[in-house]
Structure 1
Amino acid sequence: MISTEWGAPRVFGNGFKMEDVQAGHYGHQLHVWDWTKHTRIQSLDLGEDGQIPLGIRFLHNPESGQALLCCGLSSSILRVYKAEGGQWETEKVIQVGSKKVKGWMLPEMPGFISDIVISLDDRFLYFNNWLHGDVRQYDITDIHHPKMVGQVFIGGSIVKGGLVTVVEDTELDNQPDPLIIKGRRIPGGPQMIQLSLDGKRLYVTMSLYSAWDKQFYPDMIRSDQ
């Protein structure tokens, strides 16, 4: 089994502060366990590429010995694999760039990838950017060099009409339009995702954690509830 690190509950339970990251209260390691002996056999320090590692998903092919890992704060996808000699190693295969912004808590906004899913045929990877607001589809036929083949914005912090102004963006020419369903603007950003078994439908939820929802998406908390 391979486990990831988020952070100290006493810290993230009160909302996100960059000072807590700098103080070392958030994770940047993976831990490999012997499931038969219930002992830890290896820990991998992911460094700057692996700040706040969250979801890890193995390829479905039982002979592959590979997994993909999403790292929230660093907004990266790492390939986790067993190398010669039996040790586990990582390599970064996707990096989502931060956007320079005004009207937000920091001058640069990371995508904050919090969940990933791999299609049953191991052909496609799907992941979310909870802060930017988009869900992406990548072709991982060549897992060393994934290629983005789909993208849709579902809420997020950089949509038009919000408090945030994007002043520099290496990916988009304009801020995306907000998602409107039945006349209502959808608050929050895409978080947990699940792909149907036939690979034709992707289900998305918008809430990450109540304290973080209130901090980053206060419109999600309705006054009449």
Structure 2
Amino acid sequence: MSSPAIDPTFYRTPADAIAAPPEQLAYVVAFDRAAEKPDALVVDTDPASDSYGRIVGWTDLPTSGNELHHFGWNACSSAFAHAGHHTEGLQRRYLLLPGLRSSDIHVYDTQPDPAHPRLVRTIEASELAAKAGYSRPHTLHCGPDGIFLSCLGGGNGADGPGGIALLDHDTFEVLRAWETDRGPQYLAYDAWWHLNQNTLITSEWGTPSMVEDGINPELLLAGEYGHALHFWDLAEGKHRQVIDLGPQHQMVLELRPSHDPDATWGFVGVVVSTEDLSASVWRWHRDGDAWKADQVITIAAEPAEESELPPALKPFGAVPPLVTDINLSVDDRYLYVSCWGTGELKQYDVSDPARPRETGSVRLGGIAGRAPHPSAPGEPLAGGPQMVEVSRDGRRIYVTNSLYGSWDDQFYPAGVGAWFAKLDTDPDAGGGLTVDERFFPHGDDFRGLRAHQVRLQGGDASSDSYCFR
């Protein structure tokens, strides 16, 4: 009997991923802020089909009040780094949907009908707490020892510390807490790695009590939200180094390591500076035996009339950019930065990662600007480019507009709505961004739910890490 074939969407190199067939489906999680209707996994479609730009599948969760946020695959290209774990027969098949408020994790099988995923397992909050000691699952990455699931809260009612739970690729059993020596790490957010450097990096947001009701101005001004990066021994789960970016640089969120497996740098976004409401992007890099971080992008706040501002911003007379997501193309050439406050998506050429150069910008929504989508010029948009996902070939960029329920309400008190947009770029022509007018699911398309993160069939720029050049 022949062995099962290796999943063709496991790519040995970034170049293999770029050359693979483009995505035909985009999966989007959507949630009900009122926690009355079930959250859902919705599916968009093939750009070459007659139903392009429309929702072609819809799967309701069996419960309400989950607040779906980040989600991801059970397995991906990092499977090639496994030591002692089978690769043949393992598939990028299951999507795990953590509930940021419920702490339950719903597992959906995208086969045999990718447009209609079906629920195959629910990992209860009690199992996550009992076996790993965590709650409030936030971000997951398919990794070399299983599924790495970052969590904001502690288990059994503890506000913290947050950390990483390790789940099995196949059974989805919660195995344990990944850390064996957490050092000074207490706040949690994202986690990712340099596989060939045996290094895992984590970032910081806050504990559940610090984030679930919106930004707390007292905590912000006191520098209590996360402002550090942590570096770990990936194989041993031991904390090795912390880099404090400074207490003014509040909320150190999305990590985007280089896709080149031999490179030793990456980018992280910082939501706001308490000094001037600016946002920033920092580059970490190895320097000898240690790691360093440098601020390489600064985005200033924009003046606005008091009448245009929500109560939280009226005293400042300005809109902060609020960099809430970043994404790095698979070829490591372009970095995309979401400015959710001003409604801008920025594109930077990072061929020299120490010196990013802005090459494109598009505005949709924004606290003060409310820039419309070109397909509906008479409809000012709320929210702004928030979660951003990039196709493997780097030519299509997808953005959704909701950040987190309570934060949506704080910064867009009149309502954030729901929309999902696509932008196009030509990496070989020096970048630049244009909005695809044919692609704009919005409003009633989402049945009253808010759209958050996007995953692309076969993988995307933030799904996979690669083992070979």
Is TM > 0.5 for Structure 1 vs Structure 2? yes
> Residue type matched to 2:360 in 1?
G
CA contact (8 A) 2:320 2:342 kept: yes
Using the TM superposition, name which of 101-110 and 115-124 deviates more: 101-110
In 2, Cα distance between equivalents of 1:204 and 1:6: 21
Which residue in the other structure is 1:169 paired with? none
TM-score between both structures, scaled by the size of structure 1: 0.85
Which residue in the other structure is 1:192 paired with? 387
Which residue in the other structure is 1:26 paired with? 225
Which residue in the other structure is 2:295 paired with? 92
Which residue in the other structure is 1:16 paired with? 215
Is 2:307 the partner of 1:113? no
Which residue in the other structure is 2:235 paired with? 36
In 2, Cα distance between equivalents of 1:116 and 1:220: 20
Which residue in the other structure is 1:78 paired with? 282
> Residue type matched to 2:237 in 1?
H
> Residue type matched to 1:220 in 2?
V
> Residue type matched to 1:95 in 2?
T
Secondary structure, aligned partner of 2:210: helix
CA contact (8 A) 2:265 2:283 kept: yes
Q: Quick one: structure 1 residues 100 and 187, their matched pair in 2 at CA, closer, same or farther if it must change by over 3 Å?
A: closer
Which residue in the other structure is 1:146 paired with? 356
RMSD of aligned Cα (Å): 1.9
Give, in angstroms, the shift of residue 46 of structure 1: 0.4
In 1, Cα distance between equivalents of 2:410 and 2:374: 22
In 1, Cα distance between equivalents of 2:368 and 2:380: 14
Give, in angstroms, the shift of residue 48 of structure 1: 5.1
TM-score between both structures, scaled by the size of structure 2: 0.42
Structure 2 runs not aligned, ≥5 long: 1-199, 274-278, 418-442, 449-469
> Residue type matched to 1:119 in 2?
S
Secondary structure, aligned partner of 1:82: strand
Q: How does 1:41-80 map to 2 (within 5 A)?
A: 41-47=240-246, 50-74=249-273, 75-80=279-284
Secondary structure, aligned partner of 2:219: helix
Would you identify which runs of 4 or more consecutive aligned residues in structure 1 move more than 6 Å?
A: none
In 2, Cα distance between equivalents of 1:157 and 1:186: 9
In 2, Cα distance between equivalents of 1:13 and 1:5: 15
Higher CA-based Rg: 2
In 2, Cα distance between equivalents of 1:55 and 1:34: 20
Secondary structure, aligned partner of 2:324: coil
Which residue in the other structure is 1:179 paired with? 373
Which residue in the other structure is 1:170 paired with? none
Q: Which of 208, 215, 220 is 2:416 aligned to?
A: 220
> Residue type matched to 1:120 in 2?
V
In 1, Cα distance between equivalents of 2:210 and 2:267: 27
Identity %: 36
In 1, Cα distance between equivalents of 2:380 and 2:302: 23
Give, in angstroms, the shift of residue 150 of structure 1: 0.2
Is 2:328 the partner of 1:125? no
CA contact (8 A) 1:118 1:124 kept: yes
Give, in angstroms, the shift of residue 28 of structure 1: 0.4
In 2, Cα distance between equivalents of 1:49 and 1:64: 29
Structure 1 runs not aligned, ≥5 long: 161-176
Q: Quick one: structure 1 residues 72 and 117, their matched pair in 2 at CA, closer, same or farther if it must change by over 3 Å?
A: same
Secondary structure, aligned partner of 1:214: helix
Which residue in the other structure is 2:400 paired with? 205
Secondary structure, aligned partner of 1:36: coil
Secondary structure, aligned partner of 2:304: strand
Secondary structure, aligned partner of 2:243: strand
CA contact (8 A) 1:55 1:115 kept: yes
